[in-house]
A and B are shown apart, each in its own frame.
Chain A
């Protein structure tokens, strides 16, 4: 049959086939997300309530809520971001603006970041346990967990910010130089805002990785589900709580589903807020065309 049809029709059919494949693959990806989210909603929505969000876990997490767990999660995330953001973005600025791309120092820093990015999280956990918890004497604490997470976030933050800064057209730098604006002012008021969407994307990737982390935290911030009094107390993050409920506590499935639902909603909210902030920062700093 195909010999009789003109070549044009074959092309047409091939186009249709490719188009159909691309659509169905995209549909599959969406369907996976909908399936996971649907599963969580079905399993957890009935358990979700205001009390669940503010109460502390009881009976090994089967009863009660996740209030203390949420507080620990926020504290660990705050420690990690407060340490990792300045370090990461400063390193990225150095790599993108101050060091030539092919200098041996720049290459060495980039190479070590790539290696760091490929290290499995359990290795960060063991390192954090040995260095922060035992050597520096922080014990199982929110501080040592947050610092371990900060080490893990650095490669993501640096490489995304580096790429974002490099993507800013050189015309910006030249114009700024021609206007006599100092290098620091150019970086702070022009290049960083111009790269804001990339910075926000990196921040989101980092937050996503940090909030989903269990292996690096089990041995550093620990397993205690009580409300933390200080950064030197052990605190259980939401991901560790979900892991323990579903793997170690019989009858913990329903609260685990509800906790996972909270985690996903929190991630979505963080996504929206970070994107808004980045867009707003860019608009305030730069004249839109």
Chain B
């Protein structure tokens, strides 16, 4: 057995290992204040806003080469939390701030609506507000009770901490504990896929996302609310009852890079990005 020879190879490879590990750490700038040189912003929060914020960040970085904007997701509640305890510089919150969140500053960057969606083959053309309440609280369990086919309704609800859920609940004046859901979903596209895959499902998602999907042949349809068509257009002209601002939230008055980024996100030069994500741009005076 070639003991000595193999042993030296072994030690060599162990040394190599340590050298490689150190080199990787050093080469990548490992030090507690490694990112002090360039300015960095961290955004966390609503998954509805995250794709838009990512695009805003990319354009902002290309205009200001020394900055890095990191966008994380996880829901509006996380955005509020992370801003409060300083993990994030800016929180993304896809609703208006609640009274108990008054200490924070909200800066709207776009408008969005929440629309009720059914499977494309469902013959129902409209539901009254009371019918929606009865379906979501489990009083109506069959489509034939609202004029549809004889089939059980699958109620799709959003997970706790999602602002789409909070907006929907406040529109129907319900508590989440009143709702009898069969499926609980997280992000918008998951909701659309759930409804598109079940002919008897009812759900609610961001109108922007839903309009994109219907335009690309996904078998879902948006129901009008209070006889107003659910569309990006009706959100834009302010008639749609279930619309919401998409906010960037800060702990204090924004300063420095935070202020620059928020100003940029609300400016006219990003309207094309907002529209590309099927949201309604806000014109800031």
Chain A interface (Cβ < 8 Å from any Cβ of B): 58-61, 78, 82, 86, 133-134, 137, 139-140, 143, 181, 185, 188-189, 218-219, 222-226, 229-234, 244, 246-252, 285
Closest 7 CB pairs between A and B?
A60-B51, A230-B28, A248-B187, A231-B28, A230-B29, A250-B212, A247-B187
Given contacts A60-B55, A185-B7, A188-B10, contact A244 B29 (CB under 8 A): no
Question: Counting chain A CB atoms within 10 Å of each CB, which of B7, B30, B42, B54 scores highest?
Answer: B54
Which parts of B197-251 form the interface with A (CB within 8 Å)? 209, 212-213, 216
Would you call B71 an interface residue if the criterion is a C-beta within 8 Å of the partner chain's C-beta atoms? yes
Question: Counting chain B CB atoms within 10 Å of each CB, which of A61, A246, A251 scores highest?
Answer: A251
Other A-B pairs beyond A229-B68, A232-B30, 5, CB < 8 Å? A60-B55, A140-B72, A189-B10, A232-B29, A244-B73
Asked whether, in the complex, the Cβ of A247 is within 8 Å of the Cβ of B186, the reply is yes
Q: Which residues of A contact B190 (CB under 8 A)?
A: 247-248
Asked whether, in the complex, the Cβ of B189 is within 8 Å of the Cβ of A252, the reply is yes
Would you call B35 an interface residue if the criterion is a C-beta within 8 Å of the partner chain's C-beta atoms? yes
Interface size range of chain B in the complex: 35 or more
Q: Which residues of B contact A181 (CB under 8 A)?
A: 1, 3
Q: Which residues of A contact B71 (CB under 8 A)?
A: 223-224
Chain B interface (Cβ < 8 Å from any Cβ of A): 1, 3, 6-7, 10, 17, 21, 24-25, 28-30, 32, 34-35, 42, 47, 50-52, 54-55, 58, 61, 68, 70-74, 87, 186-190, 192-193, 209, 212-213, 216, 276-278
Some 28 contacts from A to B, beta carbons below 8 A apart, are A59-B55, A140-B70, A181-B1, A189-B7, A222-B70, A222-B72, A223-B50, A223-B71, A223-B73, A224-B54, A226-B61, A229-B28, A230-B30, A230-B35, A231-B25, A232-B29, A232-B35, A234-B72, A246-B189, A247-B190, A248-B73, A248-B187, A248-B188, A250-B189, A250-B209, A250-B212, A251-B212, A251-B216
